[in-house]
Chains A and B, each alone.
Chain A
């Protein structure tokens, strides 16, 4: 959390995170590139350039799979939230590994040709109407361009410049990119090589899909359905622990997080102004709601980030009726002060 844009906001945790990631990627590439030929015992071996392309390509797929698993895992088990904290470094490293894969392919299969290499990669195989021999390279290019866009716009400058809504929508590109990679493998490797690697890819894709469904179902169960009306019920006051929130899904489709702090209740939008992180899963620290994703903070009484920060959230009015906390589903403009509701013990 910073008011100035600096290239990378390092901290101790990020160093450890990136070191573990670099070790994992390094181990993958070492096992595949250095030990692989010996493990296979092939004589002659796969051409080194092709072997390297396979190593980096398959590593990039595994990295994308883990990246997409982190979000739902953090929803299902809060202990994974720290893994989500530095996910953008994971994404940038994935783009670097994917570019390496591309360079090995481009500099080998599509080099030393009478055609321009870009023309060669796009048009040397034009069987776009056939699954058999489909130009699977095009799907890889779609995924690579998506990863590069995501990496290039991962910095908070772009988040602020594009606005969180557009930035978030843009970063959903990871899903079509992932689907393109699955297609890239299915229409490429699976048509020429044994099914071992494609099975790994399909298992990874199933795991990602399964985790997303499980997280969605988990969230549906946890959310309070506030019903519909001019005021919507959330829960009894005692159901909200000190320093924590209950999240309610309003009839408007928005999610509201109702926090208890020092015995008083306040309601703000559940979506963090930074990356739409789930504020309702955060905590009140130093009197401010703290986002579980990246630690952005907001005052409960007006939804504003403490100075010198400028982020603002919509606030909601609360009242007590028949022993229930009720929320007015009409959100106040971001930064509107609302007097906290005395809720007692």
Chain B
């Protein structure tokens, strides 16, 4: 037997004694990759139901635009799905608030967009272009904000768009950076409560002054936390003015 009979050298033919072993090793490699692919794919958690409701078509409603803490539309003339009296959170495309809304706080507008919905959390993504959010002549009253007192809640700070199903999964610590980007971009931040508050599992978040969520709160994004603050009702939407100093991880 020559040295080459059992010794592999890449630029020579594979020694006969090694061929069966290498074929078996190659087949095993392929099988292992298939098996691990199956294991890894099936190890994923089912995302919560929710998403864009393109099937419902474009929604067109009239209402009063509010920009604090985040873009909201108090619907004055709605439709079957978005009836008058609803207060809808608004987003633009991507991780932005609707750019057309700038400078239109308190304006009566006609809004066109697509609904995002998960459970009782929903949002209207305003379409691109100026025709998706057009100012109208006239004015309409919005309901007064009703204070509901100081609360201490347990839950998760999320961006309302991904939590409503723009991404699946759209919550959790692996999604933290994306959620921060959405909120930095002006997408409404929400608090998904571990227990319903006044019948709602989510609340629109605001800073202590009623403005957008302060940067200090972003550090707690996507984690389960306890938080204290004032809750109020704005139309059918609950607003949680969070005290950043009270935020504590569970």
**Chain A residues near B (Cβ < 8 Å):** 1, 11-14, 16, 20-21, 23-25, 27-32, 35-36, 39-40, 42-47, 50-51, 54-55, 58-59, 62, 66, 79-83, 85-86, 109-115, 120-121, 124-127, 130, 132-133, 135-137, 188-189, 191-194, 196-197, 200, 243, 282-285, 290, 292, 294-295
Contacts and interface: CB of A to CB of B under 8 A. Distances in A.
15 contacts: A30-B37, A35-B41, A45-B47, A54-B44, A55-B37, A58-B37, A79-B21, A115-B181, A124-B177, A127-B176, A133-B173, A191-B173, A200-B40, A285-B4, A295-B11
Contacts of A1: 11
B7 A66 contact: no
B36 A28 contact: yes
B227 to A, nearest CB: 15
A81 B33 contact: no
Interface in B17-52: 18, 21-22, 25-26, 29-30, 32-34, 36-47, 49-51
B95 A25 contact: no
A283 to B, nearest CB: 4
Contact of A200 (B9, B39, B169, B176): B39
Contacts of B233: none
A35 B167 contact: no
Q: Which 10 A-B pairs have the closest CB atoms?
A: A112-B94, A196-B43, A36-B41, A192-B172, A31-B37, A24-B33, A28-B37, A192-B174, A20-B26, A125-B177
B62 interface: no
Contact of A46 (B39, B96, B169): B169
B122 to A, nearest CB: 15
A321 B221 CA distance: 74
Nearest to A2: B11
A132 B12 CA distance: 54
Given A40-B42, A112-B93, A192-B174, A59 B37 contact: yes
A111 B103 CA distance: 26
Interface residues of B, number: 60
Contacts of A295: 9-12
B8 interface: yes
B13 interface: yes
A193 B177 contact: no
Which of B3, B7, B49: most chain A Cβ within 10 A? Answer: B7
A22 B100 CA distance: 49
Given A111-B94, A114-B185, A285-B3, A27 B11 contact: no
Contacts of B30: 20, 23-24, 27
B87 interface: no
B109 to A, nearest CB: 22
A100 B4 CA distance: 41
B36 A200 contact: yes
Nearest to B13: A12
Contact of A44 (B50, B173, B222): B50
Given A24-B29, A44-B50, A86-B10, A133 B176 contact: yes
Nearest to B17: A79
A236 to B, nearest CB: 22
Nearest to A36: B41
A27 B38 CA distance: 10
B40 A191 contact: no
A31 B41 contact: yes
Given A20-B30, A294-B10, A40 B181 contact: no
A200 B50 CA distance: 29
Given A44-B49, A191-B174, A290-B9, A62 B36 contact: yes
A107 B167 CA distance: 13
Contacts of A111: 94
B168 interface: yes
A188 B169 CA distance: 13
B63 to A, nearest CB: 25
Contacts of B41: 31-32, 35-36, 39-40, 55
A80 B8 CA distance: 10
A190 B39 CA distance: 15
A29 B181 contact: no
B86 interface: no
B172 A194 contact: no
